Amino acid sequence: MASDTHPSKAATSAATRRMAVGDHLRQWRQRRRLSQQELADDAALSPRHLSCVETGKASPSRELVLRLCERLAVPLRERNAWLVAAGYAPMYRQQPLDDPSMHAARQAVQHLLDRHAPWPAVAFDRHWNMVLANRMVQPLLGGVDPSLLQAPVNLLRVSLHPQGLAPRIVNLNQWREHLFARLQQQLHNTFDASLQALLTELQSYPGQPDEQAHHLAGEHLGVLMPFLIQSPWGVLNLISTTTVFGSPTDITLQELALETFFPGDEATAQILHTLAAQTKSHA
């Protein structure tokens, strides 16, 4: 029989789980720069109860774990970790887009990209690795060093590497700052160490000398971004916009983004129409 002065293995395991979920809670609360009082008020519970959850003195219900995750804008990937740490089953699916169970979702995303032709469109994951694209993307990657096009193709490296598209982007510095801002916002939301390493790498790549830099009108933060690039068919004046899925319950879909480009002038539209006809005939 176990002694009253020594906790059982089950009790020790439960305490470890409570401490683990408390660590998750404390870490994300501090990342969001919220006091216990502020988070407690927002989550409609007492500061004392929140403190007990953080210290492992109270075991949160599944509903409370999810409520706190929602208030702290915790990504779905991390919410599963919270649930497991609290002793509950993961709630959100996580399957790669090429898994058979994701066939319908993959087809739907590819359909969206294909319907965007003759304008270029690409889908990428949380680390900016290309997962799907329409037929208008590949021709624009001509001249990029083959090493940058080996899977997984990282779109940020392709854009900003001196052996990638960077030498051909007319408004490179503006485009760099736009991508850096998006990456920094993503880091604020996820605190992903891999993204921090990627940002540090990208910032080491050279930009344009000030006397060559071009800043294009028409930028709307978080909505539209002009993108001027030299191509074998002439200068392409494009407008970039990003779409994410609204309320997915699958981690892969939550982390998926679609980058779609539109022509910024009639000359670019005509070039893309001509290119689309050529690529279709060669398919």
Residues 196-232: pLDDT tens digits?
999 999 999 999 998 888 888 888 776 789 999 999 9
Q: Within 10 A of 37 (CB to CB), how many other CB atoms are there?
A: 12
| Owner of token pair 């169970």 | 101
Tokens of 213: 């830099």
Q: Are 227 and 239 in contact (CB under 8 A)?
A: yes
Q: Quick check: 44 pLDDT over 90?
A: yes
What's the pTM value of the predicted model, to 2 decimals? Answer: 0.84
Three-state secondary structure call for residue 171:
coil
Peptide bond into 152 cis (omega under 30): yes
Q: According to the model, what pLDDT value does residue 139 have?
A: 93
**Mean per-residue pLDDT for 250-278?**
94
How far is CA 3 from each of CA 6, 7, 39, 165, 224, rounded to the nearest angstrom?
5, 8, 40, 69, 67
* Closest listed residue to residue 199, CA positions, set 154, 169, 167: 154
Separation between Cα atoms, residue 97 and residue 109, nearest integer Å: 10
Q: According to the model, what pLDDT value does residue 279 have?
A: 78
Q: According to the model, what pLDDT value does residue 248 have?
A: 67
Q: Quick check: 2 pLDDT over 50?
A: no
Residue pLDDT, tens place only, 75-125: 999 999 999 999 999 999 888 888 999 999 999 999 999 999 999 999 999
Q: Quick check: 38 pLDDT over 70?
A: yes
Q: According to the model, what pLDDT value does residue 280 have?
A: 73
How far is CA 223 from each of CA 60, 119, 180, rounded to the nearest angstrom?
39, 17, 15
Q: According to the model, what pLDDT value does residue 247 have?
A: 67
Q: Which residues, 6+ apart, have CB-to-CB distance to 125 below 8 Å?
A: 131, 252, 255, 256
**Which of the 8 DSSP states describes residue 212?**
G
Q: What is the pLDDT of the chain when averaged over all its residues? A: 90
**Mean per-residue pLDDT for 49-58?**
95
Q: According to the model, what pLDDT value does residue 207 have?
A: 95
Q: According to the model, what pLDDT value does residue 180 have?
A: 96
Separation between Cα atoms, residue 171 and residue 207, nearest integer Å: 10
* Closest listed residue to residue 123, CA positions, set 283, 278, 243: 243
Separation between Cα atoms, residue 134 and residue 259, nearest integer Å: 11
Residue pLDDT, tens place only, 133-188: 999 999 999 999 999 999 999 999 999 999 999 999 999 999 999 999 999 999 99
Q: Which residues, 6+ apart, have CB-to-CB distance to 113 below 8 Å?
A: 121, 122, 123, 132, 133, 134, 258
Q: Quick check: 11 pLDDT over 60?
A: no
Q: According to the model, what pLDDT value does residue 214 have?
A: 87
Longest dimension (CA), the chain: 84
In this prediction, residue 28 has a pLDDT band, given cuts at 50, 70 and 90, of: very high
Q: Quick check: 17 pLDDT over 60?
A: no
Separation between Cα atoms, residue 110 and residue 133, nearest integer Å: 7
Q: According to the model, what pLDDT value does residue 281 have?
A: 56
Stronger pLDDT, 248 or 235, i.e. the higher one: 235
